[in-house]
Amino acid sequence: MALPRPVVICGPSGSGKSTLYNKLLKEFPGVFQLSVSHTTRQPRPGELNGREYHFINRDQFQENIKQGDFLEWAEFSGNIYGTSKKALEEVQSNNMIPILDIDTQGVRNVKKASLEAVYIFIKPPNIDVLEKRLRSRKTETEEALQKRLSAAMSELEYGLKPGNFQHIITNDDLDVAYEKLKGILIKMIDEVKNEQYKP
């Protein structure tokens, strides 16, 4: 059997993309697995190396970039984040569908790598709802919030451009959005399950 195709899930902060893919991981534990990214940032309290991220230093990261180990990488707030080819292959070798949670910059890079992926964009109903969701988190300064909103605008512009994504889901109602996501992936889910349960 061919390796399971990765699922690229993209959307601005506050679109609810991580809530949606976490529901997939919970409902189909042996089918999907989140591809763990690498980062140069310091671990936050409670984070474990290899679970939330693979934490490596900047020199090592840049060496890996030179060696072509990364499918995509980007720099935010002085830290580098990226998806390694190895992390993706590890998930696929277990006959599971890798989920890649990446931004639009990452999507552009992954597309250059000719990855046979399913590209899904999660969008909020409108920018006001997005702002309300981000403000309700109460985790950021006004300046950081404005930066996120500005980034969200450019992500939405790219995400809604015809041809950039195969599927666009509006996350207005979480349950409805989740059913749509499941509907898009159900054929792949069945294929993986059938392969896993072959005698």
Q: Tell me what pLDDT residue 97 has.
A: 97
Residue 137 designated active-site:
yes
| pLDDT score of 1 | 55
pLDDT in tens, 29-43: 999 999 999 999 999
Cα separation, 179 vs 189, whole angstroms = 14
Return the higher-pLDDT residue of 129 and 184. 184
Active site residue 41: no
Domain membership flag for residue 29: yes
| pLDDT classification of 145: cutoffs 50, 70, 90 | confident
Q: Which of 5, 58, 135, 137 is catalytic?
A: 137
Report if residue 24 sits inside a domain: yes
pLDDT tens figures, 36-73 = 999 999 998 899 999 889 999 999 999 999 999 999 99
**Is 58 a known active-site residue?**
no
**Which domain CATH number covers 131?**
3.40.50.300
The identity of residue 123, as a single letter, is K
Residue 105 structural domain: 7-193
Buried b (16+ CB within 10 A) or exposed e, 149-166: beebeebbebbeeeebbe
Instruction: Confirm whether 12 is domain-assigned.
Output: yes
Residue 3 confidence class, pLDDT cut points 50, 70, 90: confident
Tokens at residue 139, please? 């985790």
Alpha-carbon gap, residue 81 to 183, rounded angstroms: 30
In this structure, is residue 2 part of a structural domain? no
Residue 150, domain member (yes or no): yes
Does residue 199 lie within any of the structural domains? no
Task: Specify the number of domains making up the chain.
Answer: 1
**pLDDT at res. 10:** 97
Residue 25 is assigned to a structural domain of this protein = yes
The confidence score (pLDDT) of residue 176 equals 98
Assigned domain for 119 exists: yes
